Structures are given as C-alpha cells and as structure tokens.
Structure 1
Amino acid sequence: MTLLTAERTEAPARRRRWSPRTRELVLLTLGSLALAVVMTWPTLADPWRTIPGDLTDPLFSAWEIGWYGHAVLHRPGGLFDANIYWPLPRTGVFSDTLLGLAPLGIGVSGMADTLFRYNVAYVLAAAFNFAGAYLLARQLGCGRIGAAVAGAAFAYTPWRISHAIHLNILMSGAIPLSIALLLRGHGIGRGPWDPARGRPWAAFAGWALAAWQVSLGFAIGLPFVYVLMVLGVAAVIAWLIVQRPRIPRRIVLADLAGGALFAGVTLSLASVFMRVAKDHPEVAATRTAQVLEYFSPPWRGLWAAPEHSLVWGRLTAGARAGIEWPIEATLLPGLIVVLAGLLGLVVTIWSRATRIWLAVAVVASVVAALGTTFAEGKMTWLPARELLPGVEALRTSGRLIMYAVLVLGLLAAGAITRLARHRRLRPFLLAVPLLVCAEGLSTVPHPEVPPPPAALAHAKGPVLILPAYKQDSLSLIWSTDGFRPQVNGYASFTPGMISEVVRITESFPSSLSIDYLRRMGVREVIIDRRRAQGTVFEPAAERPVRGLPVERRDLGDSVLYRLL
C-alpha cells in the first residue's frame, strides 16, 4: 500500500513539472531552432568554410565574437584593446561591439572554428527573434497562432534580408523578449493590470536582457534605450490613471537593481565610445547630417525589398532602382503582415485605445525610419540630434523600421487570435505564419572564405599584411589563430594611422617603408601574392632585399619579411 501510494503521488508531481506553459516553452524553443535552420539554409551546410552575405562585415562580426571570447579568458582587463590597428588603443570599439556574444567565442581556435561560431550565432539570431516576438504577443494575451504570426513577422520580414551582413542588427530578439519580461514582472498583460501578479525575477531579467541587447552595439541599442524610456513614461502615466495601485516592495527592489545594471552597462559602454570619438577626429566625418541624409531611405523604399528576397526581389526591382544604398533603404515589412495588421485595426482582441496606440507606434516608427526624407528631418531627426544624447552618432535611420514590423506583428496577432476563436477557421489560420515565413525566404550568398597565407603561420606579430587596405576584413578572420597584433584592421571609420601606413608601404620593401615600420614596432611584413596580383606589390614580392635590414622567406603563396 505504501509503494502504491508513493507511485500515485509521484505521477501528479511529474505532470505538474510539465505544465502547459512549460510544454509551450519547450516546443517554442525546438520549433524556433528548427525553423531558423530551414530559413537560414545553407548557413549550416558548411559552417567551417562559408559565411552568409559577403566577405566584409560578416567577417568583422565573426572576428569580434572570437576576440571577445579570447579576451574574456586571456585579457579581461583589456577587452577593448583588440589586436587590430596595432598599436592604437581601444580598437575593439572602432565599430559596434558584439561584447554580449563573448560566450560564443570562448576557446575559439583559428578561422574555421571562428566561422562555425559565427554561423551558429547567425542561426540563433533568427530563432531568438521569432521566440522573443512570440512571447511578447503571448504576454499581451494573444493566442498561439497569432503569436506565431508576430514571431514570424519579426524574425523573417523581407527587410531583414538586407541586413544579412549585419549580425548586430539581426540579433535583436532581446528587444521584444525584455519588454515581455518587464510586463510580466509588473503584472501587465493577460488581463487587467494587477501588480500583485507581478514577478520580481521577471522584472530583473527584463532589465538584464535589455542591458545585454545594448552590449551588442548602439546602432540598435541606443534607439532601444529611448524606446524603454518612452514605455517607462507611458507606464507611469497608466499607473496614475488606474489610481496608483500599490507596487509590491520586491518588484520595486528588482526594478532598482535591474535598472542600475542596465544604466551601468549603457553608460560604461558609452564612455568608451565617447573616448574613441574624442581621440579620433575622423569619427566626426561619419556623423554629419549629410551622412544621415545619404542613408535615409526614399518613400519607395517602404515597398522595395532587397535583391536577395526570393519572393519580392525581382518584383520590387523597379522600386529599388536608383537607391544608392539599398542595404539601408529597402524596408518592405512583408505583404501578409501588413494586410493582417490592417485587419487587426478592425477585427481584433485589442481595445480601441490599444489599437490607436499601436497604429500611432507604426506611423512613428515609419517616420523615424525615413530619416531626413520625411519633412527633411526638421521635425524628427535634426532636432533629436541636438537634444538627445548620442543620436548624432546614428546615421542609418532605416533600421528603425524594426519597430514598425514588431507592432504590425502584434496587430496581426490580435486579428488572428480573434478569428481563431472560430474553430472552423483555425486550420486555415495556421497558413498565415507559414506565408509570413515564405516572404522571408532568401537567396543570400554564402561565399567560401579564402584561407590565410602560409606566411601567417610563421608570424608572431606585430605584423603588417600587404597589400594594406584601409578596411581589411580578411586579415581579421585570419588573425583568430592566436590573435597576434596586426596593423591591418576593419572599422566603421578609417583611422588616420592606417591611411598613412597604406601610403608609405606602397614602396615596400624600400628603406623608407622599412624604417617607418620599424619605428612603429612592426616585426614582420607579409606580402600575400594572391591579393597582390595586379597591384604594385606583385613585382615587389620578387624584389631583392640585399643591403636592407630585413630577412626574406618565400613560402609559395606569400612572402615573409622579418624586420631586423
């Protein structure tokens, strides 16, 4: 009898561990990952040799993941003093930082391993985006099918295909998920606001996740900071309107701790970026109103899709024609989510007031995304650049279309949830998230990354690879085998030092260039014959060095020079 009783009590315990919410989270995790593998294919077909997009920004992001993982273990006190653009300091923040992805880079060893870590991050970004928007919709009271529409819209909008080369833009799932956690932490969603239903752990986790999003760079992080400020003000106003319900002390403490963490991360990273901007006047040239105007999308960008969109690429080629920088100016959210979002203004679970605010949010996001195209920016970006700290550093307004897509997804989720109450419609409604995903199918290329020149295996650094380019992403991915110091680099601006190096080393191996590099502290110079073809370095690789203070070693595809 005792054994039988024990078995009967254990069975309900097992059932309680697998509650409906737990099962949903498990299925969401597995489903998001499986969908991401399919939607980003062939990213994981050969992840040790290829990379999605091209051989520019993706290689830089891959190097960042590897560098921060390496620095966490080996140089925790010099996280931002990276091995590139040697000997300049804080070169790790010459562009947006992917510090938050450092765990993925721990233990990285060489180019193939680094590419694998990046490709995994690329797939995880899509899964995270889907899951984050899904959970936000669920927290606000949407059904599973409606939430799937919101997740699919946020993760696989045609707009995201433009940014296949920008992992810092793709990895934005923490935005909706942190908002969902903050709402849950304060008892908001799935019914009337009731602080007693709040969860302190969720409130703190929301702030922590928001801080993590900021650690992936200010291109997405800074607008998110201001979005959280707007939501905070809205929450205070709502709290006053509903007669100031008592907030449990534990939630207040969680907010204080989480808010302090969020502010600390944001201000700490901002201070490093400000120091770089102060030390390098070249940064100012990338932050002018003229640069913002150049990157501001035209109106037709709202219905233009990137060329690699499988569904919309050719169909919107006319709208895309003439756009100088289509990566930042093709903003098509997707036809299905727009139509479902418009339906959500009429048939929905949202109240009239909620619908109005969601519609206002969509319009505001679109206006912000247009940059100086809307009213020449006189009512939006230009005053914001003067009044709001850090906004002058933002030059790519089109990325703010992300918030319009997120809110359109929530409007669509409200409509689908309302329609799903009719059981006969549910089988047909399941096709909606699939159609949204179909619009996100792409033909993004996955080029193979060239292997490093043989001479690099014999270099200890500091090293300069010739031909020298002001922006050299290949040299970064090659440096992940030990992260030896190198003069070559890649960033969002061109440091004056590298411009001078490029100019002087065009005569290498001459006495002038050798003396210049020796004074810098460079120990080795490599001429990569593959990239030297057709340049002044093609004959230079064969030039004799008798009488010069160097040792020359021919290694087939490259030549290694040791400066004496």
Structure 2
Amino acid sequence: MKRKRKELPETRPPGAPEDPWSAFAAIAADKPPGRIRRGLRAVWRAVVHEYALAAYISAVLAIGLTWPTLRYPLHTLPQDLGDPSRQAWQVSWLGHVLRTNPVKLWQSNAYFPNGNSFAYGDSLLGYAAFGLVGDGPAAAVLRYNILFVLAHALLLFGAYALVRQLGARPTGAAVAAAAFAYAPWRLAQEGHLDIVSAGAIPLALALLARGHGWSMRYGFRPERRRAGWAALGWLVATWQLSLGFSLGLPFAYVLGGIVLFLLMAVPVRRLRRRRREQRQKKEQTGKEQAGKEPAAVPETGAETGPTTKPAAGTKTEPAAASETGAKAGPATTPEVKAKTEPVATSEAEAKAGPATTPEVKAKADSVTPEAEANVSPATTPGAGAKTEPATTSDAGAEGGPVIASQTGTKPAEAGSQADKADEAVGAAETKPATDDPAASGPGRAEPGEEAAEKQQAVARDGVPSGLEIRKERPAGTKTAVDEAAKGPVGKAKPAGPTKTGTETGKAETGSTETSEAGEADKPALKKGKRRVGKTRPKKTGTGARRPRRESRAVLGWRLLVTNILGVLFFLGVGAAIAIPYLRAPDSPTRGEEIDFFSPPLRSLLIAPAESRIWGAAHVTPRASLGWPAEMSLLPGFVLYALALTGLLFSIWRWRQRLVLVLALAAAVILTLGTNFFGGRWTYLPLFGHFPASFDLRISGRLTLWTTLLLAILAAGAIDEFVRRIEHFAAQRTPPWPSPWLRLATLIPLLLVVLEGWNATAHPVAPAQPAALRTVGGPVLVLPTAALSDQTVQLWTTSRYQQVTNGGGIVAAAKQEELRQKVASFPDLASIQYLRDNGVGTVLLIRSEVVGTPWEQAGDLPVDALGIRREDLPDAVVFRLN
C-alpha cells in the first residue's frame, strides 16, 4: 500500500530563524516611470486622442474631397483665375508688408493712386503668418492651395468639435461635420477663400461652450467650467473676424445674442435662487418657532416635544425626543388629527408613509398607565386636537408623516423595540410583508417595472414615491422589523452617529428620490408630492462645509472676467479693422445689388454646377436663377432627410428641437434677403446699412447658418439611431448584429460625403511676364479688365511695384472709369489722364491683347506723342515721362 506523502508546513514554527532563501523570493517594488517615459506616454495619449484623430481624418478627407487641388499646387487654382488670384496676392502682400513696413498695411501696391486699397474686399488678415514664407507668383499659388485645403479641414474639425460639445456621439458628430463642411452649395464658393474659411465659427462656439461648462444635452455644469477654454474661444472668434466681414459680422451678431442671453440669464438665475433660499429660510424659521412652542402635557407631567428622525444606523431613545427634532419639524399622523392615541412605530415603517389599519385602532385603546410612564409623548403642533402620549420614530418627524405600527405591540414595549428597528431597515424594505409567497400588497417590495409602476401609482394618490403603505398581515406572520423590535423594555441606548440627508434618503428608498433631510423637501413630502430630479448635495452635521456660491452660479468670477476681456478684445480688433473699410469708396448701387443677389426660396433645392452628383440634373432650374453662382444654395438632400427625421426621432429634447427649428426659420428668412417682405424687417436693418467694402450685399452666403442648424438636427437623429442599435445588440447573446449594425450607422456619412463630391475646374495660372520683374511703378498693365486685373495683382508679388490695375467689386466704378479713359491708348487724351494720376509707365503684354482694344497699340508710332517705347520679347514698355 502506497504511503501518503506528508505535506510540508507553509509557515515556519514560532522562534525558528528566518529562511535565508526568502530574500530571493522577495518581489521588488515597481520603479515609478521617469520623466522621459511619462513624457512619451503623454505624447502618445495626445496622438491617439479623439480630437487628434478627428484632425487627421479632417486633413485626409479635405485632400480627397478637394482633389485635384494638390495635384499641381504650383500651377493651378481652384474654380477660376479671378478671385483666387486676387486673394493669393492678398496673403502675399500681408507677409511682404509685415516684413518691410507694417504701417503701410492698408496702402497696397494695387489700385494706384487710391488709398486704403487693401480694404477693397475681405482682408484675410488671419493668414498673414503664411505670407511670411516665400515670394513670387508660384509661391503665392502654392500658399493659396494649401490654405484652401486647410480651410476645408478646419470646416470639418470645427463642426465636429461643436456637435460633440453639444452632446452628440462621435458618429452623429461626424455626419453633421461632413454635411456642414461639404454641403453642395459650398462648391459654388470654392473660388472664395474668405467664404470657405468658416471653420473657426463652429470651433469658437465649441470652445466657448466648453469653457462655460455648457452642452445642449446636459445644460450648465459648473464643475466643468474652464476660463482658459473660454479665452481660447474668444481668440478664435477674433481670428475669424479678422478674415473678413462678410462672414465675421453675422458671426458677431450671433455672439452678441449669446452675450445678451447670458446678461439676462445670470441675474434671473441668481434672483430665482435667492428667492428660493429666502423662502426656504422663512419656512425653516417658522418650523423652528413652531417646535419651540409649549406642547400639550399629559397627566404624567412629562414635557413633550416633536420627534426627530436620526440617520440610518442610530438608536432611538424611547423616553425623550431627539434634540434636533425641533428643527426638523413636528410629526403629523392621520390618527393624531382625528384622535391622538398612543401608537408604537418603528423607524422602517415611519418612512413608508401614513397608514391606518384596524389593528392599530384596536390596540391603541389598550394603553396602560405603566406604558404612559415609559414613553415620551409626541405632539403635533397646530393639529388642533388634544395630544396624548405616543411613542414615535424620529424618522417620521423629518422625513414625513409618522406611520402607525402594524405589529400589534403595546405602547409600553415600543421603547425597546425601536432599539433594533434601525438595524433591520434594509431587510424590512426588501423582505415581503408576509412569508407566504402568494401574498401580495403594497407592503411587498417588487422588482423591476412592477415596482416602478406601483411607486408611480402611490405618488399619484398623494403619498411620496418610494414609501409604501403596509396592509394588515395575517396573524402569526412576522417581519424583520418585528424580530428586531423585541427586547427589554425601558432600556435607552445612546444615539449613534447620524448620516447626511442624501445618505439616509438612499438607504430608505433605494431610488432616485431626493434627500428627505433637507428642509425644503418637507413641505413637498407633507403634501404627498414627489420631488423629481437631481438631488441637491447638502452636507450636514458638525464640521460640514456648504459649497461656495461660485460653484452654483452660471459664471464664476474668472469666467466673468474672461468674457468681459474677450468681448472687449473682439470689439476692439473689429473696430480697428473697420476703420479703413469705412474710408473705402461706397457703391451708389448697393441697394440694387442686394435686391439682385437675393435668392428665391426654391434656390435652397438647387445645386451648383460644380456638384458632380446634382450639377447636371439641375441645369434647367439653375438657369431660372438670376445669378446661379450665388443662388444655388442646396445644403444637401440627405441632410434634409436626416434633419427631418431628427424632428421626431432624436436625442435632443422637444424644446431644444423647437428652438432649433425657430433658429432655422430665422436663418432661412435672412438668407432670402429682400425676397421676404422686401427685407425691411429682416436683412436690411442688420446688414443693409454697411458700406460696399464690407461685402454684405450677397445674402445667400448666410445659408452657412442654415446648414449648421440642419446638421445639428441631423446629428440628433443619427445619435438616437446609434443608441438604439447599441441597445438592441446588447440584448443579443451573443451580440452578433453589432458589427453589421455599426457599419450601417456609417451609411449616412457616406451619403453625405458623396453629395459633396466636386467637379470643380482647376485652370492653370498664366505665367508671369518677365517684364514685370524689371519694370518699376507706378505702372498701368494692358490689357485691363475686371477679371484680368486680378491676375496682374498676382504677377506683382515679385517686386510689389505700384500698379493701377485691380479687380473686385469695391472700386469697380473707379476702375471702370480708368478703363474707359485709356481705351484709346496711345493718344494724347489717355496719356494726359495717366500723367495727371501719377502714372509714368505703361506695360503692354503682347500675349494678352488679342481681341482687346489694345491689340494694335504695340505697333503704332509714338514720336509725336512725347513718349518713348521699348520693345521687349514678351511686352512693350511705354515711358510717359
């Protein structure tokens, strides 16, 4: 037979020397990571952060959806050679003037001899840092193309950050951002960098909302306030204003509305809080005074006082009421109002609400003198009835009406039964009222939806939710409270440490009911109403501190100072930029231009020609528009469908959806310009009085706000769809639909991106004539026209010599006068006109004059005109002096 192996002891016997091999088995403590490792971890977390990933995806998607912009970035420009050439010159001029003479910022080299000529259109001041790198037309074209792609990336990233801050999930925010950044109407604006550069608008709103701790889904959360984010938001908003007034001024109106809302909301919120606190203080003072009034004294001569409710886990004294009971308020029972009788109650049943049973009435009459001597009488001030001794649980005085005991014990035994009642509170609330499984009733705790429905039914009947009325139990049945209530009579134990009202409220009900210890909650409980909503944390007891008022306010002092400085900085920069714009020449036909460019309502359903999906299909309706390039304002049919779904199926609340719809209606009305009742009460009062240099004559560009509001509505629908899919997948075992259903959530994103697929032309920019790298100014370059002059401005980025050429709409009247005066050049009249304006040189580009009035100007004799001509390989130079 095999002998069983003796097991070795796991521990050494007492007094034995230490095992020398234990040193090899000791585990050394982990060494904390050093600075380099912590730094690498921080960098890695930043690289894989959600917003870092959003930035990467935004850049990649911008390159793909603007292709072929970066295919030949040194030679081509998106859409046309007009405004892109002029805006490429603007960014180059900003870098040149900052390096040489910043004082001459607004005195550009074009439009000679006009002053403040750099204010003839949106200035793009925010891109000045990019102009510091590189010189010449090729560098200007490359710089413009890079900024063009980055502007699209910022559109996507800014909209994503805003919708995420409002409370949407990543999928909903991605769909909203793509719909905002690549809406079909934006394809018609690809030649205007100032209009494409609108991504700072949603980004600034997101930063301001983050700094104020506000989201549309969760409201204001003071603990999330950060003055630094708010300051960054004001800086980004100011940067957006510096890019141009065509989008900056409407954005300023939106920010002004937000500031006015805060100016009204903060005082109203504080006034309401102050009134609520005064009302609560007044009610508390009244209760304290009522508790100090002399109570009815029974025959034993004992002085009565209102009972109080200790926290869970404390022991009640049968002979005297708690000292804090006078502060908490009197205990009121239906039995006291009718006929005050000595009633024995337990703490667990005192939390359940008023209940009158035949068993209590029968046993209440059998009160003995000995019982009266052993109990402390409880009074109900103001009840209007004669009070007699009654032993009540302290919980009834603070949490609500006192509930009569259903156990059938005599009043003399109540003092000792309360000793152990608090230890069985949890068992009494969860254990059925009877051991019989077939028994049911309100006293029985039911799990799940049945318990919730029963609590709602009790709340509708006038009893606080979470408090259940016990029915009469069959004889012989016992509960945990009945077992705990047994013990020696007359022994009083000291009360244990009390808990806060929030903790006792959770221990009593186990639901989302608010604290029962708060003084403001008592009137609601006495009236039988349920306080619904978030619990207000309120510490009580010795050494507890109340939260500072700043944490409960909408704005703290840091955030208030940040907002004041941010508003002043925003207004100061805007006013400084506006000064040269106010000095620029105005257009006498500004009102007619606003009428002409105001789009009809049907334009919101018409896509531009640059849309690869809808461009060819909308040729006929687009031809009915007065100016299709500025009136094709389709935000996207997929976006329309998602936003319409979001009205009925969304994570946003109904009132939030209503506000979004009202804001959407206002945005559409402003977009229509003078086509909505002449614009007398809408567009014209807001934008009609600004000069032409502010470039606010095209109301259709306000469709940006229409698209943003539609995108927010669409995000609500997508987010609700994702939430329901996740819930449905979680119910499956195993969750097999999850991967496929998650892929289904990307279908709206693909459809939105597909609608933004462009067919934008990318013409090749003309090469710079060699003569412009040698000739000085002031010079007139021929031929001159509204479109070709913008290309001339681009050519001057090598030497920045003064030229009379210049495109755009601000100085259109003066430039047209110049072209009429020099149409017959070279002749005496045109030469004298140029001399009077300080022009000493005329440069004729031979490759550009075909089909223009100056086609033969390079071959005419000039000896009798008093000027000199120089023939160059690609141009002719006329010296007027």
Query: TM-score, normalised to structure 1's length?
Result: 0.93
Aligned twin of 1:144: 170
Q: Alignment partner for residue 832 of structure 2, among 515, 538, 559?
A: 515
SS at 1:465 equivalent: strand
- Is contact 2:119–2:693 with CA below 8 Å preserved after alignment? no
Q: What's the Cα RMSD here?
A: 2.4
Aligned twin of 2:593: 291
- Is contact 2:211–2:229 with CA below 8 Å preserved after alignment? yes
Matched residues in 2 for 1:20 and 1:460: separation? Answer: 52
One-letter code aligned to 2:259:
G
Aligned twin of 2:285: none
Counterpart check, 1:179 vs 2:205: yes
Shift in Å, 1:130 = 0.3
Matched residues in 1 for 2:138 and 2:34: separation? Answer: 53
Q: Alignment partner for residue 37 of structure 1, among 63, 80, 86?
A: 63
Distance 1:351 1:544, change over 3 A: same
Shift in Å, 1:37 = 0.3
Aligned twin of 2:805: 488
Counterpart check, 1:374 vs 2:676: yes
- Is contact 2:587–2:691 with CA below 8 Å preserved after alignment? no
Q: Name whichever of 317-326 and 83-92 sits farther off.
A: 317-326
One-letter code aligned to 1:454:
A
Shift in Å, 1:525 = 1.0
One-letter code aligned to 1:258:
G
- Is contact 1:506–1:536 with CA below 8 Å preserved after alignment? yes
Shift in Å, 1:236 = 3.8
Matched residues in 2 for 1:122 and 1:266: separation? Answer: 24
Q: Name whichever of 13-22 and 362-371 sits farther off.
A: 13-22
Distance 1:30 1:21, change over 3 A: closer
Q: Alignment partner for residue 441 of structure 1, among 721, 737, 757?
A: 757
Matched residues in 1 for 2:72 and 2:626: separation? Answer: 33
Q: Alignment partner for residue 415 of structure 1, among 701, 717, 727?
A: 717
Shift in Å, 1:93 = 0.4
Consecutive unaligned residues in structure 1, runs of 5 or more: none
Shift in Å, 1:404 = 1.1
Consecutive unaligned residues in structure 2, runs of 5 or more: 1-26, 272-551, 727-737
Counterpart check, 1:167 vs 2:196: no
Counterpart check, 1:331 vs 2:633: yes
Counterpart check, 1:499 vs 2:807: no
Matched residues in 1 for 2:63 and 2:189: separation? Answer: 17
Shift in Å, 1:175 = 0.5
One-letter code aligned to 1:446:
H
- Is contact 1:222–1:390 with CA below 8 Å preserved after alignment? no
Counterpart check, 1:265 vs 2:573: yes
Aligned twin of 1:307: 609
Matched residues in 2 for 1:518 and 1:2: separation? Answer: 91
For 1:333-348, what aligned pairs fall within 5 Å after superposition? 333-348=635-650
Aligned twin of 2:559: 251
Matched residues in 2 for 1:391 and 1:469: separation? Answer: 20
Counterpart check, 1:105 vs 2:131: yes
Aligned twin of 2:790: 473
Q: Alignment partner for residue 244 of structure 2, among 201, 213, 217?
A: 217
- Is contact 1:109–1:482 with CA below 8 Å preserved after alignment? no
Shift in Å, 1:25 = 1.7
Shift in Å, 1:141 = 1.1
SS at 2:228 equivalent: helix
Counterpart check, 1:93 vs 2:409: no
- Is contact 2:688–2:697 with CA below 8 Å preserved after alignment? no
Counterpart check, 1:550 vs 2:875: no
- Is contact 2:184–2:636 with CA below 8 Å preserved after alignment? yes
Q: Name whichever of 409-418 and 241-250 sits farther off.
A: 241-250
- Is contact 2:582–2:691 with CA below 8 Å preserved after alignment? no
Distance 1:199 1:388, change over 3 A: farther
SS at 1:493 equivalent: coil
Q: Alignment partner for residue 5 of structure 1, among 22, 31, 38?
A: 31
- Is contact 2:670–2:683 with CA below 8 Å preserved after alignment? yes
SS at 1:97 equivalent: coil
SS at 2:249 equivalent: helix
Shift in Å, 1:18 = 4.5
One-letter code aligned to 1:57:
D
Q: Name whichever of 515-524 and 538-547 sits farther off.
A: 515-524
One-letter code aligned to 1:127:
A
Q: Deviations over 1:518-551 (max 9, x none)?
A: 3332232111112211233121101122354433
Structure (1 or 2) with the larger CA radius of gyration: 2
Shift in Å, 1:87 = 1.6
Matched residues in 2 for 1:2 and 1:562: separation? Answer: 90
Aligned twin of 2:855: 538
SS at 2:49 equivalent: helix
Q: Name whichever of 232-241 and 170-179 sits farther off.
A: 232-241
One-letter code aligned to 1:428:
A
SS at 1:54 equivalent: coil
Matched residues in 2 for 1:302 and 1:559: separation? Answer: 50
One-letter code aligned to 2:164:
R
Count of residues paired in the alignment: 558
Aligned twin of 1:452: 768
% identity of equivalent residues: 39
- Is contact 1:51–1:115 with CA below 8 Å preserved after alignment? yes
- Is contact 1:384–1:391 with CA below 8 Å preserved after alignment? no
SS at 1:44 equivalent: coil
Matched residues in 2 for 1:386 and 1:474: separation? Answer: 31
Shift in Å, 1:435 = 1.3
SS at 2:588 equivalent: helix
Shift in Å, 1:505 = 2.0
Q: Alignment partner for residue 353 of structure 1, among 655, 661, 664?
A: 655
One-letter code aligned to 1:202:
W
Distance 1:553 1:361, change over 3 A: same
- Is contact 1:64–1:98 with CA below 8 Å preserved after alignment? yes
Aligned twin of 2:256: 229
Matched residues in 1 for 2:831 and 2:37: separation? Answer: 77
Shift in Å, 1:62 = 1.0
- Is contact 2:213–2:223 with CA below 8 Å preserved after alignment? yes
Aligned twin of 1:67: 93
Aligned twin of 2:390: none
- Is contact 2:587–2:692 with CA below 8 Å preserved after alignment? no
Matched residues in 2 for 1:200 and 1:515: separation? Answer: 62
One-letter code aligned to 2:558:
R
Counterpart check, 1:58 vs 2:375: no
- Is contact 1:146–1:414 with CA below 8 Å preserved after alignment? yes
One-letter code aligned to 1:274:
L
Q: Deviations over 1:286-330 (max 9, x none)?
A: 421x22111111121010000110111122223212212112111
Shift in Å, 1:11 = 5.8
Aligned twin of 2:224: 197
- Is contact 2:121–2:694 with CA below 8 Å preserved after alignment? no
Q: Deviations over 1:258-309 (max 9, x none)?
A: 1111011111122221111xxx3xx232421x22111111121010000110
Aligned twin of 1:364: 666
Counterpart check, 1:461 vs 2:774: no
Matched residues in 2 for 1:527 and 1:174: separation? Answer: 43
- Is contact 1:184–1:203 with CA below 8 Å preserved after alignment? yes
Matched residues in 2 for 1:483 and 1:34: separation? Answer: 35
Matched residues in 1 for 2:795 and 2:39: separation? Answer: 53
